[in-house]
Amino acid sequence: MLIPVIMAGGTGTRLWPLSRSLHPKQFLKLTGSSSMLQDTVQRLEQLDTTLPITVCNEDHRFIVAEQLRSGGRLGKIILEPEGRNTAPAIAVAVHIVSDDEDPVLLVLAADHVIADVEEFTNVVTKALPLAEAGKLVTFGIVPTSAHTGYGYIKRGKPVEDGFAVDCFVEKPDASTAEAYVASQEYYWNSGMFLFKSSVYLQELAQHRPDIAAACEAAVANIQNDLDFIRLDADAFCACPDESIDYAVMEKTEHAVVVPLDAGWNDIGSWSAMWDVAEKDESGNASKGDVIHCNSKDCYVYGEERLVTTIGLKDTVIVDTQDALLVAARDSVQDVKSIVAELKKNGRDELKTHREVFRPWGKFDSIDIGERYQVKRITVKPGAKLSLQMHHHRAEHWIVVSGTAQVTNGDKTFLVSENQSTYIPVGVVHSLENPGKLPLELIEVQSGSYLGEDDIVRFEDNYGRLNE
């Protein structure tokens, strides 16, 4: 039986402003009604697999758990104290799932699109005997264009249903990419792998013993925390930052590439979103409330309000609640410059959306000014916010729908629809939804400081006391 290992630790900055560091693209519903992480898990349904092992960032743990649980595929979730690239992430996953057995692992990224799931299933099934025979299999995407944004894999001699890997090559210039595609000997590097756990650990120990040792130390003292597995932070953070390509695949003698032609796309830019989206007769791809007039080959994403275009061509427009991107479709790679500027200036738009998800539900900061902030808060049925206190702000809660169980100082009471309560500065308080429907309320904060770090937690159901 296959064990899927899903890499879900990316930040997806090339799809800003929709993708942000605390809610990146793998958790967004970019191409359908499910998130990219959920799509990745769902496409495994035709394969004989265990529940997935997901490796993610500490900050994303509750999003990962909620999305996997809602799809009924919640497996083990390994938390990286810091990102150390794919070679260490895969190594710790291998250690944790192997035990005394030697399973075959299918390593996937959480943020890829694969249109033809049946062909994906067929190719993975065909590649299994190679992995079971001790090969390190990578899946090479049959190129559809001379793309300069991907690394390439050159195939060598045939090996059963694949080819020995001749070499890996970096992202080429346009003329080199054209020569690669014309030769029919090169594939795009997908970043998906299939191998036995013992083979990966042996090759990692041979070619990068420093990474192997650090990862072994990181799993020596793991801690289970709710749905999560915590590594030894000091050991893992001491591990070198390296991809599986550089650490193992480019050095091993056992690498095999199996061609995959299944409508793959890594959605690495807004132009890639235009590539995979459905288009109208003028080549425009739209999501949301959008009206085009004499526009052609545009991509428009509207989140809440009406977006209109007149006389545009090859343009990308992404309109979110708190940021607007307008770019030429052939220049969207320069989003990285905007992201760098946001980081330099310490802008919140780099990290968070106006709507922020929490393990108990979510809140939307609908208005903010000097000494006040207004939030729309949604609490899931049965969920409870931490027992907490604020040094610098008071809070007014107005219940819009549902019933809230409120702890306010030494009193606990119910607040129903159209009722309200007031939490003074410095008073210990909590909020719980005891009902079976979502609790909706409006919170008005007032005070000298309104930052999210003005929270002192005394009790918490989600292990956040030390954050």
Closest among 84, 401, 141 to 259, alpha carbons compared: 141
> pLDDT band for position 467 (50/70/90)?
low
pLDDT of amino acid 282: 98
- Strands 228-230 and 76-80 turn out to be parallel
> Residue 15 has what pLDDT?
97
Q: Which of 5-9, 97-101, 258-262, 343-347 has the lowest mean pLDDT?
A: 97-101
Beta strands in 268-371 (DSSP E): 285-287, 290-293, 299-302, 307-310, 315-319, 324-328, 355-358, 361-369
**Count of CB atoms situated within 10 Å of the CB of 79:** 23
- Distance separating alpha carbons of residues 40 and 20, to the nearest angstrom: 20
Mean pLDDT, range 266-274, rounded to an integer = 94
Summarize pLDDT for 405-417 with one digit per residue, the tens: 999 999 999 999 9
For the chain, the domains span 2-265, 275-339, 355-459
The pLDDT, as a whole number, for residue 350 is: 95
List Cβ<8 Å contacts ≥24 apart for 455-460: 455/386, 455/388, 455/389, 455/390, 456/388, 456/389, 456/390, 456/391, 457/386, 457/387, 457/388, 458/386, 458/387, 458/388, 458/389, 458/428, 459/386, 459/387, 459/430, 460/386, 460/387
Indicate whether 465 pLDDT > 80: no
Give the C-alpha separation, 370 to 448, whole Å: 8
- Fold (topology level) of 2-265: Spore Coat Polysaccharide Biosynthesis Protein SpsA; Chain A (3.90.550)
Whole-number Å distance between alpha carbons of 136 and 127:
10
Query: What element of type H or E holds 25?
Result: none
| Average pLDDT of the chain, as a whole number | 95
- pLDDT mean over 292-304: 96
Instruction: Please state whether beta strands 53-57 and 2-8 pair in parallel, antiparallel, or not at all (unpaired).
Output: parallel
By the 8 A CB rule, do 23 and 37 touch?
no
Interval 202-224: pLDDT, tens: 999 999 999 999 999 999 999 99
* Angstrom distance (rounded) from CA 279 to CA 195: 39
Tokens representing residue 53 in the block: 């092992």
In the predicted structure, residue 263 carries a pLDDT above the cut 90:
yes
In the predicted structure, residue 77 carries a pLDDT above the cut 70: yes
Residue 466: per-residue pLDDT: 65
Residues above pLDDT 90, as percent of the chain: 92
What pLDDT is stored for residue 27 in this prediction?
A: 96
The rounded distance, in Å, linking the Cα atoms of 177 and 171 is: 8
Residue 258 has pLDDT above 80, yes or no: yes
Q: What is the pLDDT of residues 146-162, one digit of tens each?
A: 999 899 999 999 999 99
CA distance 253 to 83: 28
pLDDT at residue 403, rounded to an integer: 97
Q: Is the CATH number of domain 355-459 3.30.390.50?
A: no
Backbone CA torsion sign across 362, 409, 404, 430:
positive
* CB neighbours of residue 361 within 10 Å: 18
C-alpha–C-alpha distance, residues 1 and 109, integer Å = 20
pLDDT at 240: 95
Q: Which tens digit of pLDDT belongs to each residue from 54-76? A: 999 999 999 999 999 988 888 99
Average pLDDT over residues 179-201: 96
Amino acid in the structure at residue 391: H
One-letter amino acid for residue 252 of the chain = T
Neighbour-count burial of 151, counting CB atoms closer than 10 A to its CB (0-12 exposed, 13-18 middle, 19+ buried): middle
The reported pLDDT for the residue numbered 291 is 98
d(CA 269, CA 277): 13
DSSP state, residue 220 = T
Mean pLDDT of 438-453: 95
